[in-house]
Amino acid sequence: MVRKFVLMSVLAVGLGSTVGTVIAQTPAAATQESAASFIGEWTMSAEGANGPVQIALSIKTDGGKVTGAITMGPASKDITDISVSGKSLVLKYDTDYQGSPIPTVVKLTPSGEKVAVEIDFQSGAYTMSGTATKK
């Protein structure tokens, strides 16, 4: 009986700490303060199955709201769904592919002297990774 109680207590504490970790990493809307290190003009160098690509990214504040614009080739897209998750800035928008919207997520994460980039199209259907450099 005592072993059962101890096991249940350990499980409860373990589950509690897991829930706390998940809650702490829930994305929050980016603010001027939380996104301060990301504000500016960036060049993202990413690579996926189809090879390398250079992408321009602009992050700014407009009336206290964090906004952005991403440019790849001739196409540019404004981004208003920007959040912070842990140390990462997460940008969500729809890419237009032959008239169909493709949900896209760009994640910028500081990693030492560099900023890592992860780009996810259509919930993992196509992914790219690389680095971002501030201009």
28-134: which CATH architecture? Beta Barrel (2.40)
For tokens 């237009």, what's the residue? 96
Listed in order, strand segments (DSSP E) in the chain are: 28-29, 40-48, 51-62, 65-72, 75-79, 81-85, 88-97, 100-111, 114-121, 126-134
For tokens 């603010």, what's the residue? 31
Per-residue pLDDT tens listing for the chain (135 residues):
433 333 333 333 333 333 443 334 567 999 999 999 999 999 999 999 999 999 999 999 988 899 999 998 888 999 999 999 999 999 999 998 899 999 999 999 999 889 999 999 999 999 999 999 999
Q: What are the backbone angles phi and psi of residue 123, rounded to the nearest 5°? A: 55, 45
Contacts for 135 with CB less than 8 Å, ≥ 6 apart: 40, 41, 42, 43
Closest CA to 42 of 70, 61, 66: 70
